[in-house]
Structure 1
């Protein structure tokens, strides 16, 4: 059996707000059927990132683990420092704990989910 990943969905308190953050960060447009309970970003005609309302959502407490992250997203960027500055301007936070700041940076989205940005590897390097 072979499965094809079609989307990753994140629990949150405010799906439209979190979708807006990731739309501005990635350039992916929102799905036209997004609403206050479920919002999605699309690539072409496929949803790729979804955000679902959870009434008792408790943000992850990375890195201490009281509320585990359970998953995180990884993104490639052209310039690590520039990406961190742009993402924090959009509402992400940069926690003090950075396991490998020379290779990637961990940020928290506005709902508290950790995600990583890494320099895009260029061919011939």
Structure 2
């Protein structure tokens, strides 16, 4: 049997790591990593999963659903509250909502402040 891998971290490119970490911290309630700075910030997630945000000069936001600038990564979250309530809360925190919503009422596609698409769906 081959060794099994355990996902330990996900890192997103962005223009402002501290701002993007703050958005996801408010959205998820995860704890900020103590060594975050202007070039690399992070959140300590559940079950040891680390979410990182690294500064990239001239970052270009994904053009989802188009592919002029591919998304390269799509994160999905489950939410405890009603989808409408969760969407409203995330929009208030700075998320965007693309016109294209491929999942109907089962899930919502939003974008974080750096333009990365992510989904929310009921738990």
Q: Same fold (TM over 0.5)?
A: yes
Q: Which residue of 2 aligns with 1:2?
A: 4
2:90 maps to what in 1? 87
Superposed, 1:97-116 pairs within 5 Å as 97-116=100-119
Query: CA deviation digits over 1:74-98, x for unaligned, max 9?
Result: 0001211100000000000111100
Structure 1 residues not aligned, in runs of 5+: 121-125
Q: With structure 1 as the length reference, what TM-score do the two structures score?
A: 0.91
Q: Distance in 2 between matches of 1:35 and 1:21?
A: 15
Q: Distance in 1 between matches of 2:105 and 2:47?
A: 36
Distance 2:59 2:87 in 1: 26
Deviation of 1:50 after TM superposition, in Å, equals 0.3
Structure 2 unaligned runs (5+)?
none
User: SS at 2:72's partner residue?
Assistant: coil
Alignment partner of 1:75: what SS?
strand
Q: Distance in 2 between matches of 1:97 and 1:44?
A: 30
SS in 1 for 2:32: coil
Distance 1:102 1:84 in 2: 12
